[in-house]
Amino acid sequence: MATRRRMETRLLLADDHTIMRQGLKALIEKEAHLCVVAEAGNGAQTVALARRAAPHVVIMDVAMPDLNGIEATRRILRENPNTKVVALSGHANKRFVREMLKAGASAYVLKKRAYEDLVRAIRAVLEGKKYLSPAIARGVIDDYVELSSASVPDDPAFVGLTDREREVLQQVAEGRTTKQIAAALKVSVKTVETHRRNMMAKLNLHSVAELTKYAIREGVTSVDV
């Protein structure tokens, strides 16, 4: 009787550093039945490629330009809840970890541990398990469960922002002008100004500098973008 072939696992690799993607791709494709079918350099491209390439697993850099990994994860899983997301980051900050888990990521791997942990994380999520790099695992799950079960939301102001407002927030924090944001999002300058005004009112913030600090603190963007 013929031996049944094991199905190949399709991966989308998202990181804004080409050298990092090349190294991770070489690592992944040494493994049997793992294949990188698409690569992306920013969050918006990742969402679009996930729609077209239909990967089983997305390796998602948390800090990417235009649309961060947290927002990209939300959008991908909203369209296809069966996709598994492995977060990849240089940040051990518990807030970043928590936001990625809340967005639906099944694993969180530190970049400095990628060569030891990434393939292990991919295997784990394909089996329906969670995976965290050992350096951040201690206490993170307890913290996440405690916040998730709390009667009061961890940050109701952040939750109150719309998808588009968070997208505009990231663009503002990355230093883009109102005209540049409008062009990137294909909306009018007036629409961008309205989003910014609404964000400031919801968050009780009063300047671009305050918005930028807030975006970094909440994991919407990062100092290393």
The reply to whether the predicted model has a pTM over 0.85 is: no
Q: Which two three-digit tokens encode residue 160?
A: 């109150």
Averages of pLDDT over runs of 10 residues in the chain (225 residues) are 63 95 93 94 95 96 89 94 93 78 92 90 94 75 56 53 85 87 89 90 87 77 56
Burial of 32 (0-12, 13-18, 19+ CB in 10 A): exposed
CA distances (Å), origin 211, targets 77, 79, 120, 158, 185: 27, 29, 37, 12, 19
Q: Where are the domains of the chain?
A: 9-149, 156-217
Q: According to the model, what pLDDT value does residue 140 have?
A: 60
Total residue length of the chain:
225
Alpha-carbon span 142 to 147, nearest angstrom: 9
Q: According to the model, what pLDDT value does residue 127 have?
A: 94
Nearest one of 163, 154, 69, 78 to 109, comparing CA atoms: 69
CATH class of 9-149: alpha beta
Task: Return the CATH number of 156-217, one of 3.65.10.10, 3.40.1160.10, 3.40.50.2300, 1.10.10.10.
Answer: 1.10.10.10
Q: Are 183 and 177 in contact (CB under 8 A)?
A: no
